[in-house]
Amino acid sequence: MTETWHKHDMDFLGGRRLRRSRRTAWSRAMVRESVLTPADLIWPLFVIEGHNEKTQIRTMPGVERLSVDLCVEAAKAARDAGIPALALFPNTPDHLRSQNGAEAYNPDNLMCRALSAIKSAVPEIGLIADVALDEYSSDGQDGLVRDGEVLNDETVAVMIKSALVQSKAGADIIAPSDMMDGRVAAIREALDGEGFEQTQIMAYAAKYASFYYGPFREAVGTGSRLVGDKRTYQMDYANSDEAMREIEQDIAEGADSVMVKPGLPYLDIVRRAKDSFNIPIYAYQVSGEYAMIEMAAAAGAINRDGAILESLYAFKRAGANGVLTYYALEVARQLGK
């Protein structure tokens, strides 16, 4: 005999109806657990040579590489929208790339000129400088290579010099993205020794050897020149406990904040990190994630604007203090309305 469900059968639940609080927009807003504001967003910018120059990135519809003067204008727009910081990535001209990555510590390199110009024109916005050799090397690797092996300590020595010229140019946060062992401690010691005690370090502490980086490598000009892969230093995507050890080590070495990269496929790492460590946790919504949203929307498979916001709220729900996202300016302006 089939029993009939009646309203009075709710009595055993104490009259609870969880849908009540979801019935209206104002009520949903009242009980919303995660909040997204412009201050949660960091905007990555790709920098190129030239004046009033912008170039399209084939696999990242809507994202452009910008010359230094246009990066300054972008920084003003970000400031006005309430975005607290920019993350800069240079597309170094081919003739300046080399096996030893020496352009990384040229005080007049593209990155340093961009940092200086933005800091001079928009001093109130934070500047995050990427420190790795892939943007300067001829082989696309994040470190120096000898006989097919990516060298750890020799790479760290070059990164120290790169971090110092970036700090002198105006970087507020040094962000080593290479995953070499010991680089956070070495950079911290060097910064302190040169009078940059106030310069922060945002460590790419859990950076995975991911297939989601393809469009980024096109954007900075490393994809076509990459020799081999990065699995000997970036993390195995099958591992989670290892990420906690990496994060713990970077904190012990002096990191002020840590990053998980990529973002959405690694929300479990964000959550574990937030639960385990009392330090700001950031996530990078990487180029492949951006491309998937854009291309799915263009195909009519998803609602673009809804998917963007849903993805960013996922980072906040998982515990991220902030998100590096190519949608930063668009979303910040939308949130500010």
Q: pLDDT tens for residues 48-102?
A: 999 999 999 999 999 999 999 999 999 999 999 999 999 999 999 999 999 999 9
DSSP 208: B
pLDDT of 337 reads 75
Residue 171 to residue 88: CA distance in whole angstroms: 10
Average pLDDT over residues 295-302: 98
pLDDT tens across 98-146, in order? 999 999 999 999 999 999 999 999 999 999 999 999 999 999 999 999 9
Q: The pTM is what?
A: 0.94
Give the CATH architecture of domain 36-335.
Alpha-Beta Barrel (3.20)
- pLDDT at position 257 is 98
Is residue 261 within a helix (H) or strand (E), and if so which, with residue range? strand 257-261
Beta bridge partners of 257: 202
Residues with catalytic function: 207, 261
Over its C-alpha atoms, the chain yields an Rg (Å, rounded) of 22
Distances (CA, A) of 258 to 25, 271, 274: 35, 13, 10
Q: Is the peptide bond before 262 cis (omega within 30 degrees of 0)?
A: yes
Domain boundaries, the chain: 36-335
- Angstrom distance (rounded) from CA 294 to CA 69: 27
The SS3 call for residue 142 is coil
